[in-house]
Chain A
Amino acid sequence: MSCPGKLFYNWSDKDFDESLKFIDTEQLGNDPYDVTIIGAGVVGCALAYKLSLHKLRVLLLDKNYDVGEATSKGNSAIIHTGFDAAVGTLESELVTKASRGWPELAKKLKIPYEECGALLIAINDEQNSHLDNVYEKALKNGVTDVQLLSAEQALELEPQITKNVLRGILIPRESIADPFSTSIAFAEVALTNGVNILLGTEIIGVENANDKIKTLVTGCGKRIDTEIIINVAGLGSRKLADLYEGESFDINPRRGQFLIFDKYSRSAINRILLPIPTANTKGVLVIPTIFGNLIAGPTAEDFTINDNAVADTTVEQLQALLNGASKLYPGLYEQPVISTFSGVRCNCSQGSYWIRCNDGHQGIITVSGIRSTGFTSSPALAEYLISELHEKLGLNLEANPEAIDSRSESSWPGWWKRPYSNNELVKEFPEYGRVVCYCEQISHGEIIQQLDSPLKPRTLDALKRRTRAQMGRCQGFDCMVNVAEIVSNHCNIPLNKITKRGPGSEIISTNTLQY
């Protein structure tokens, strides 16, 4: 096995684990990196994973305190077949390619995945007239297993959908997966194969961009040397590109709000329900999640790059969303909404999948405009980028014979495999039998297991994405403080220093004391 990489957090608090603290650049080794990936979203993590299969010195860094924390955490969690992508684009090519590889990838990386299929339904004459075009487009995109359905056939597959259905299209391979586990799995394997990971670190300067060895300046004033820089910083990619005089492009973050329904709604709908996109609107989807909920969304609202409201939810839009989604599945009005969220698409005005090699200077790649399809396409996009690195940036690729490309059986998330059902395991580790999160039925043991996992999550949100504790219908009413106490005890961090997403988001106001 190759030497595992190092993980550091830029977390200066005195109570934070010394061995994980980023104090000095020397911790990262003295030689320059071959490749530094800026942005540990799903694309950055996929790239780190694929690069880790080669003999290279790679650094993955992100300004957040977990991987997959920004754009990659809020989406519809659909693995698209690419049936409705714009024909002939790079996006369509990568999505189609990635979609075929997903079942095997999910198995290897232990990512919960289900080929649930999708049902596209036309509910008025205008939509009905577009249906044949959608079908033709799917065939052109190489998705040849789509089937045209009559109203009766559609209702037979999904009896709960609106009785107004006129016709439908079945897309059997449209799938759902766990978006959180995906970034985590990629990053974990990369780490195991020797990629170093640095979290909580923003890049504020690029020096010697013209030279072979470039220097990245971090927000805390440290300098990191690297030969190649890959900018996959999502919404931050514009600001980062300015640091190295990259070609001009614009990002218009597009907000997508979603409603999350409780688990007993899931039995009503088995497939993703899609409206027919018309000239005016793409419409609202009803999507089963791999976690056992239903979600409805998204909205599409454009923002400017520095507007913080891009992650907010709004009462009016959510009501409109419910009305829209109920047109597909009228029973939704009956279903309790347990939570809402906003996802942000990294929308590039100059076109999606904006990729520039040797951007501004030799040895720099800019990747932006990776919209919602990025979750699906990430493994194929990573491979595409590696071939570009080889051909256009002259990166020498030599396979690393010691690298692994999968995670072990024990890496399946607890909520998916339910460790407490294994009585032998509970006998050995009774904590797997002590349920902490009542709604999602997550045990104390699962939380400890995640705290000790390779990426060493240390924030409540990072734990939430891994274990699902606090993700259920009570939204942390019962377990939030208990989970915080477990982190506090296990990691020796005082309870008042436990954070939601890193320094500055402590659960207890820093100005108050014990009373």
Chain B
Amino acid sequence: MNSTKHFNILIIGAGPAGIGAAVALSKRGIKSIAIIERSDKVGGIPSFYKKKKGGVRTFIRWSRGGIPVFGEDYAQWLEKQLLKTKVQIELQTQVLNIDAKKKILTLVSPKEGEVNYSADAIVMACGSREETLAERGWLGGSRPVRVFFTKQLLCLLDGNHLLPMNNPLIIGSDLIGYAAAAKLKAAGASNAVIVDNRSGPKCGFFERLYFRLWSNPKYQGLSIKSIEITGNKTASGVKLNGKNIPCDGIVICGELIPNSELALNGNIKVELHSRKPVVAEDYQLSEPGWFAAGNMLGGFHGAEWCYFNGRRVARGVVNYLSQT
């Protein structure tokens, strides 16, 4: 292993929150900042919602509506902000482990292999993911192919121009689910059935009205204790209160959980069930010099919220640096 490279600030994750923090910290005159991104591009989840003529624009301020945009456009705007700064961008770089006390990250990349980076302060903007079938606790049945998470659907639909199913069934009724239904319909699939274990959809009324421009999914909820996925090789439906709803593909949407495992591995305090990191004033984590931003904090926030949250976290980081 090579010797440790030192930076003033390291930011883990180049999604909206990480970029927000990077841009704000750079504007405050901090010289050596590196942003570490495991995929091959910056922009995070919005970049998966591609721009398409006549395509579905979604909300970047999920929780509060706002003007619908193409995620890709917003990701490009974020990238532009980032490129204006002198922040060092490390793509295809995975953080393998952290040493919270010494503020060291062990990274691996094709360029450098395994290396150590250290910093005076570290911002974790690791984002979130959708809960697995098992984590949701009310989904059983078989394990066929064509049961996707939203991110997988986006990679196929927008990334590869492949429509994976004709009769979609969507599990999870928040904005992500309704957006998925609209995108599938726009790509040529039929109206989706949306299933959730609550009486009404999670997605707000006005957002649902907006997505009616493309699709009118049927909602199935109310007192569902558990549902069973059916299909031997490929998904063929779900069994719900003894009734089979047929489909040829399933999308598991929403129910975000923070990607807080790196923090956990470094013995930074994380609430185990929700996996939200324990945050003090100024978004500080339980180890001094560590901060969290964006959807890693938990909850269900749009890209724009995350970007501004990243900027707020940057203020906390500057406070911390001025005190030490």
Contact = CB atoms under 8 A, between A and B. Distances in A.
B113 A314 contact: no
Contacts of B138: 315
Q: Of A312, A439, A499, which is in contact with the most chain B CB atoms at under 10 Å from its CB?
A: A312
A125 interface: no
B280 interface: no
B223 to A, nearest CB: 14
A13 B57 CA distance: 37
B242 to A, nearest CB: 14
A477 B109 contact: no
A433 B152 contact: no
A126 B300 CA distance: 49
Contacts of B160: 481, 485, 495
Contacts of A339: 132-134
A29 interface: no
A474 B112 contact: no
Contacts of A478: 129, 151
Contacts of A308: 142, 232
A124 to B, nearest CB: 28
A129 interface: no
A313 B225 CA distance: 15
A507 B145 contact: yes
Contacts, number: 170
B135 interface: yes
B263 to A, nearest CB: 11
A303 interface: no
B188 A512 contact: yes
B113 A509 contact: no
B155 A481 contact: yes
A315 B140 contact: yes
Contacts of A312: 140-142, 228
A480 B156 CA distance: 10
A416 interface: no
A101 interface: no
Nearest to B275: A336
Interface string A281-313: 000000000000000000000000000110111
Contact of B248 (A480, A485, A509): A509
Interface string B107-147: 01111111000000000000001101111011111111110
Interface stretch (A106-114, A137-145, A215-223, A422-430): A422-430
B69 interface: no
A248 interface: no
Contacts of A421: 114
A309 B142 CA distance: 7
A63 to B, nearest CB: 13
Contacts of B94: 435, 438, 441
A34 interface: no
Contacts of A474: 129, 132
Interface string B218-245: 0000000110100011100000000000
Interface stretch (B21-29, B162-170, B303-311): B162-170
Interface in A258-302: 259-260, 262-264
A293 to B, nearest CB: 12
B152 A477 contact: yes
B294 interface: no
Interface string B277-303: 000000000000000000000000000
B199 interface: no
A476 interface: yes
A358 interface: no
Contacts of B114: 420-421, 423, 426, 433
A476 B111 CA distance: 25
Interface in B181-240: 187-189, 225-226, 228, 232-234
B110 A433 contact: yes
Interface residues of A, number: 64
B265 interface: yes
A398 interface: no
Contact of A505 (B96, B130, B145, B165): B145
Given A315-B138, A477-B152, A430 B146 contact: no
A477 B161 CA distance: 19
A340 interface: yes
Interface string B1-14: 11000000000000
Contacts of A501: 145, 233
A213 interface: no
A511 B166 contact: yes
B272 interface: yes
Given A315-B225, A336-B272, A339-B134, A499 B143 contact: no
A512 B163 contact: yes
Given A336-B275, A509-B146, A426 B225 contact: no
B264 interface: yes
A430 B110 contact: yes
A473 interface: yes
A264 B111 contact: no
B110 to A, nearest CB: 4
A346 interface: no
A509 B234 contact: yes
B32 interface: no
Nearest to A339: B134
A338 B261 contact: no
A1 interface: no
B63 interface: no
A318 B272 contact: no
A130 to B, nearest CB: 33
Contacts of A420: 108, 113-114
A504 B235 CA distance: 11
Interface in B1-57: 1-2, 38
Nearest to B155: A481
Contacts of A341: 143
B268 to A, nearest CB: 12
B112 A433 contact: yes
A193 B24 CA distance: 62
Contact of A337 (B92, B129, B134, B234): B134
A336 B146 contact: no
A104 interface: no
Given A318-B140, A477-B130, A512 B164 contact: yes
5 contacts: A477-B130, A481-B152, A505-B234, A508-B163, A512-B166
Top 3 nearest A-B pairs (CB, nearest first) are A430-B110, A426-B113, A481-B155
Given A431-B110, A433-B114, A477-B151, 11 more contacts: A313-B141, A315-B226, A420-B113, A426-B108, A426-B114, A433-B109, A476-B149, A481-B159, A500-B145, A509-B146, A515-B187
Interface of A: 259-260, 262-264, 308-309, 311-316, 318, 334-341, 420-423, 426-427, 430-435, 438-439, 441, 443, 473-478, 480-482, 485, 495-496, 499-501, 504-509, 511-515
